Amino acid sequence: MIDRATVDKIMDAANIVDVVSDFVTLKRAGANLKGLCPFHDDRTPSFIVSPAKNYCKCFACGKGGSPVGFIMEHEQISYPEALRYLAKKYGITIEEKEMSQEDVQRQDDRESMFIVNEWANTWFQRQLNETVDGKAIGLAYFRQRGFRDDIIKKFQLGFCPNSREVSMSDDAIKAGYQERYLTNDPETGIGTGLSIKNDKGKLRDRYWGRVIFPIFTLSGKVVGFGGRVLDAATKGVNVKYQNSPESIIYSKKRELYGLFQAKQAIRKYDLCYLVEGYTDVMAMHQSGMENVVASSGTALTDDQIRLIHRLTENITVVYDGDAAGIKASQRGIDMLLSQGMNVRLLLLPDGDDPDSFARKHNAEEYQKYFQEHQVDFIKFKTNLLLEEAQGDPIAKSKLVNNIVQSISCIPNEITRSVYVQETANAMHMQERLIASAVAKQVQQNYEEARKQQDRETAQRLRKETGNETNRGQESVSSNIDDRPPLPTNVNTVGGTQDTERPPLPDEGLSPLVASIKQRDKLRFEQKECELLRLVVRYGEQPLENTATSEEGNGAITVTQFIATSLQQDGLSFTIPLHQKMLNAALEKKEGITTERHLLNYPDPAINSLAFDLATDNEQLSRLYQSGTKVYTSTDDISLPALVQHILTDYKLEIVVQEKAQIMRELQDPNLIKDPQRYLTVMTQYKEIKDIEKKLSHTQGGRVII
């Protein structure tokens, strides 16, 4: 395992802006930066990066974290793997202790598969550039296609020979790589699929006799390969390309070929070209246009669109002259529009694709054509389909409906209205007819999306909380305004009370109040967040004006005072995550702030909530604004008074709720018929009234921070 000193060194070196910028285009927004969330379908920037806190978070889906947490979530890797990733990025040498067998097993599969892929990538390149067959067959093929050596090197192209004497699988076994990582188990997704086991149990190379195109993640890891049969061998071959099988590290629908090489250019020009194949990407790079990616011959997916959208909102889809292919791609255009992308289309002449077109023109001509022939998707669709609809009213009606469907996918209402007007002019129709059709389709899209979201939400809640818990909380939460967002797993995180810490002397509440914590948990969520905000911001600071511990060790901290005061009254936070966070704060070591401790705590739910509380300067409680005085910082009031005030206010809220429950019991007409029960309830009422009076008397003015 990685030793603590090295972990601290990595934590100190890792800068959240540097780390996130490798994957998301960020723009300045006051003291913070913002961009499109890499974890969900984000159409407007909701992903906030705080340089001051060294933390990031999406305020739509709730995901984010410290630099380590972000890398864990984004790359779907373990905590040690994320530390190694950052150590490599910042040039930090890792000193590891011996790992347990459990630790090794937990991270072995993914890490081993990436290592095998990296080894294979080097092996393929060596075969291409250093062997006789590689140079005569593989390298000759690329040069015949017109690719320069610098482009071949840039994309790390390779070659797998068709030879009994040379085998990648055999060399991998000799090098010590395990067979289970060379093959692929479709059920578990374990293994790279570089090798295939035949009926006799012998391994053979999946890509024998093919040139190799490695596929990289956005961060530059080799995640898979594509192998193409050479032109001389394509006769009678149905499938020219052979790709890596689906695995725990590779899914074709989540990857874009060339994205790693293109990401800087896409950010620079704020534009991405989308083409179909590997060689199309390479040809455009060779012509000086590096902001290009390929969907690798598959239908465009939401995951691929999100990868592009994180870098730019502008995309130009490049088509060859195949009309059938253009029509088949219409769904992809609508998907791009629905995710808020600005879509332009470009049709190459004479059935050329970007690769063949590049071989006919020099770089200047190539770039000029691309700049001058990009057209808006409405104009493209109209020109393409209008010829087929000439003189046929039914065909023209289908064309209009086709365009209406695309316009309805656009989330921005103003943009939709502009396209409605352009479509009406192009089709020589009344604008109101197009507008009415679009509005109807927008409503239909909305209803379908809402139903789908409701189904997904219901499924998620059933999975996280169970049916009974969800139904019990729904009616309560609907009556609470301005509740700060919590992570989705708030009700699944357990927490236990710290019973070993000695309580402070306190004039606490009656034990009667302790029963309230079993009821109406969400009612107290906001009040608990107010106390936790004090813990995050001031948790390590001493309260010199409060009573000290029984051992006389001096003033206790804000965190200790809040925890022991609640403990003495038999109370714990009603939200399990809140209690777990308070317990985590009590574990803080000397020398670091509570805020840093919680932002780097190995629980992402605690990280997320701590970031919310550390950055929100306005919500400490809108309830306090009606009080006799408003404090805006600890400069206006001493910290001990502030802590005591908010803690008392929390207890007062509990008392108010208990009093309301007793009042409901007193209104029961059957109560008077049971003298013993009536006496008990009246005693409780008097007791709770006395407590309420005492707390109200000591509370004073209202405060916010």
Residues 60 and 125 reside in one and the same domain: no
Residues 115 and 42 reside in one and the same domain: no
Residues 139 and 225 reside in one and the same domain: yes
Put the strands of the sheet holding 241-243 in their side by side order: 158-160, 210-216, 222-229, 241-243
Q: What are the Cα distances from residue 49, in Å, to 7, 15, 306, 529, 597?
A: 22, 11, 19, 22, 18
| 701 within 8 A of 629, measured Cβ to Cβ | yes
Quickly tell me which residue has 């063949």 as its tokens. 356
Q: What is the pLDDT of residues 5-36, one digit of tens each?
A: 788 788 878 889 989 998 898 988 888 899 99
CA diameter of the chain: 104
Task: Tell me if 387 is assigned to some domain.
Answer: yes
Task: Tell me if 255 is assigned to some domain.
Answer: no
Task: Tell me if 63 is assigned to some domain.
Answer: yes
Residues 529 and 676 reside in one and the same domain: yes
Is the pTM higher than 0.85? The answer reads: no
Residues 77 and 114 reside in one and the same domain: no
Burial of 485 (0-12, 13-18, 19+ CB in 10 A): middle
pLDDT of residue 471: 37
List the CATH number of the domain containing 232: 3.90.980.10
Task: Tell me if 503 is assigned to some domain.
Answer: no
Residues 147 and 199 reside in one and the same domain: yes
Task: Tell me if 465 is assigned to some domain.
Answer: no
Q: What are phi and psi of 237, to 5 degrees?
A: -95, 120
Q: What are phi and psi of 68, to 5 degrees?
A: -65, -45
Task: Tell me if 567 is assigned to some domain.
Answer: yes
Query: What is the enclosing helix (H) or strand (E) of 703?
Result: none
Can you list the residues of the chain whose pLDDT is less than 70? Answer: 1, 96-107, 231-239, 297, 321-329, 385, 387-389, 391, 457, 460-523, 544-555, 616-637, 694-705
Residues 535 and 400 reside in one and the same domain: no
Q: What is the pLDDT of residues 107-133, one digit of tens each?
A: 678 889 999 999 999 999 999 999 999
List the CATH number of the domain containing 23: 3.90.580.10
Which structural domain, as residue segments, surrounds residue 441? Answer: 379-446
Residues 79 and 111 reside in one and the same domain: no
What letter does residue 147 receive in the DSSP assignment? -
Residues 530 and 673 reside in one and the same domain: yes
What is the Cα–Cα distance from 421 to 426, expressed in whole angstroms? 9
Residues 548 and 439 reside in one and the same domain: no
Please say which residue of 405, 426, 446 terminates a domain: 446
Domain count, the chain: 4
Task: Tell me if 278 is assigned to some domain.
Answer: no
Segment 368-377 long-range contacts (CB within 8 Å, at least 24 positions apart): 370/273, 370/289, 370/316, 370/318, 370/346, 373/346, 373/347, 374/316, 374/344, 374/345, 374/346, 375/344, 375/345, 375/346, 376/344, 376/345, 376/422, 377/333, 377/337, 377/343, 377/344, 377/345, 377/406
pLDDT of residue 195: 95
Question: Which tokens belong to 572?
Answer: 């714990």
Secondary structure class of 609 (helix, strand, coil): helix
Residues 146 and 196 reside in one and the same domain: yes
| 534 within 8 A of 646, measured Cβ to Cβ | yes
Q: What angle is formed at CA 230 by the lines to CA 226 and CA 236, rounded to 5 degrees?
A: 100
Please say which residue of 183, 215, 250 terminates a domain: 250
| 564 within 8 A of 503, measured Cβ to Cβ | yes
Task: Tell me if 140 is assigned to some domain.
Answer: yes
pLDDT of residue 523: 59
Secondary structure class of 475 (helix, strand, coil): helix
Residues 405 and 538 reside in one and the same domain: no
